[in-house]
Amino acid sequence: MNPTEPIAATSGVSRSTRAAAVLRVTSGNFLEQFDFFLFGFYATFISKIFFPSTSEFASLMLTFAVFGAGFLMRPLGAIFLGAYIDKVGRRMGLIVTLSIMASGTVLIACVPGYASIGLLAPALVLLGRLLQGFSAGAELGGVSVYLAEMATPGNRGFYTSWQSASQQVAIVMAAAIGYGLNEWLSAQQIGAWGWRVPFLIGCAIVPFLFMLRRSLQETAAFEARQHHPQAREIFSMLLANWRIVIGGMLLTAMTTTTFYLITVYTPTFGRSVLKLSTADSLMVTLLVAVSNFVWLPIGGAVSDRIGRKPLLLAVSVLAIFTAYPALSWLADAPSFARMLIVLLWFSFFFGMYNGAMVAALTEVMPAEVRVAGFSLAFSLATAVFGGFTPAVSTYLIQVTHDKAAPGYWLSFAALCGLCATLGLYRRRASSSASAASSA
């Protein structure tokens, strides 16, 4: 790997101006996670409306498969939209990704059920998920790189952590709306039409998010670059740096798997597997999102002080050896208190790991393909690991009859993160040493 071009930080910008820029750029992340969480939380209802079957397991698996299909589009979005953002700029590219994402959101919110339009209903839901996945493929990378390029010296981990922190705000809001609906409506009302209400709220805030995105300024780091590569150049550079992309995918596997396990899958796991109440599952999810919001910037700040590598290694090892025992303890005697304790523990190592990982991934990518490379690595991890975590967890529990089986999947993802950290930083050290000797 060739040493990457330093990420230049702008200077002379007030703290309030930077805070406003963080809010504007992360607004799209909010919409993405708001809808993704809702799809996972209302999976049971969506399965009955759009994927009716004589088997509840089959309906749920079809729903989670469609949920996961959106993640298969992420690598394509990362390549094509990521290349577009690296060519035309962060601001314009992020407006485009928000437009595509909003289209998918509106489609899912408004599609009639299977009973009304037959097979067209699940087909349109699938199309909506594919649009969301395509846009999300570059959205997260574009936001992360924007934050990295606007960060003040020595604080890149702290700034980039707000990419994920914004998603936690979305989960808190979605869980709070779901909790309110659960209190105000009957299960029959929620199943018939109430589940659409949060999706429609997401549609209603789209104009506000567009207003925020349109007021973004281009980053100084992008404007200072003398050469903005064409798409063909970007594709060639991605191919030349395929080892870094694969390493970045494995590095990200830990964070995507943990995130979708403790947020999107938690409500279904609590209701269908542990047989806890809907209110308990929602409250745990809400508190976990608050915990994530707290730990993410702490993880980023700690990595700014002690380095990315030590933190990534420590948390990976912690996850490998505690994921299954923690879930096994929960499965032995399911309760609200035990579920909260276990998921807050997972939230701790998610926040600390991800706080360091996002900054690390922006730093190992070559500058010319920083958005495309970051987005492709993250999208592959989400497609292979995180996005299918609900489906894999459901399958593992079904075939093993072990309610703690998702812990195996999480430990495996943590092992991938451990190996990737060692490999990427060894390669980076070798490249830096080679560059220093040749100079």
Question: Using one digit for the tens of pLDDT, what is the confidence trace for 389-403?
Answer: 888 898 899 899 999
Residue at 184 is within a domain: yes
Place of tokens 């997260």: 140
**Which residues constitute the domain of residue 327?**
15-211+231-425
Least Cα distance to 395 among 408, 381, 383, 380 occurs for 408
* pLDDT surpassing 70 at residue 15: no
Go through 83-111 and write b for each residue having 16 or more CB atoms within 10 A of its CB, e for each that does not.
Answer: bbbbbebbbebbebbbebbbbbbbbbbeb
* pLDDT surpassing 90 at residue 409: yes
Residue at 292 is within a domain: yes
pLDDT at position 3 is 39
Among positive and negative, which fits the CA dihedral 242, 155, 426, 435?
positive
Residue at 216 is within a domain: no
pLDDT at position 431 is 61
* pLDDT surpassing 90 at residue 176: no
Q: Residue 120 contacts by C-beta under 8 Å, 6 or more apart in sequence?
A: none
> What letter represents residue 363's amino acid?
E
Residue at 287 is within a domain: yes
pLDDT at position 248 is 93
Average pLDDT over all residues of the chain: 84
* pLDDT surpassing 90 at residue 304: yes
The number of folded domains in the chain is 1
Least Cα distance to 412 among 345, 320, 326, 348 occurs for 320
| CATH (domain of 146) | 1.20.1250.20
Structure tokens at 364: 């190992």
Name the pLDDT band for 2 (thresholds 50, 70, 90).
very low
Q: What are phi and psi of 86, to 5 degrees?
A: -65, -25
Cα 24 to its chain centre, rounded Å, is: 18
pLDDT at position 320 is 96
Residues 237-246 have a mean pLDDT of 87
Residue at 84 is within a domain: yes
pLDDT at position 430 is 65
Residue at 317 is within a domain: yes
Among positive and negative, which fits the CA dihedral 39, 40, 42, 47?
positive
* pLDDT surpassing 90 at residue 209: no
Rounded to whole angstroms, how far apart are CA atoms 123 and 50?
Answer: 9
Local structure of 276: helix, strand or coil: coil
Place of tokens 């609900």: 390
225, with CB counted inside 10 A (0-12, 13-18, 19+), is middle
Rounded to whole angstroms, how far apart are CA atoms 98 and 433?
Answer: 41
**For 353-370, what is each residue's pLDDT tens digit?**
999 999 999 888 887 777
* pLDDT surpassing 50 at residue 239: yes
* pLDDT surpassing 70 at residue 174: yes
Residue at 438 is within a domain: no
Q: Residue 42 contacts by C-beta under 8 Å, 6 or more apart in sequence?
A: 178, 195, 198
Question: Within 217-332, where are the H helices?
Answer: 220-224, 231-240, 242-262, 266-268, 278-306, 308-332
Q: Residue 89 contacts by C-beta under 8 Å, 6 or more apart in sequence?
A: 218, 222
**For 16-63, what is each residue's pLDDT tens digit?**
677 777 877 887 777 777 877 777 677 778 888 888 876 777 787 788
Structure tokens at 360: 């690390």
Residue at 122 is within a domain: yes
Distances (CA, A) of 396 to 97, 273, 326, 412: 34, 12, 17, 13
Residues 125-143 have a mean pLDDT of 86
Highest mean pLDDT among 149-153, 159-163, 224-228, 246-250: 246-250
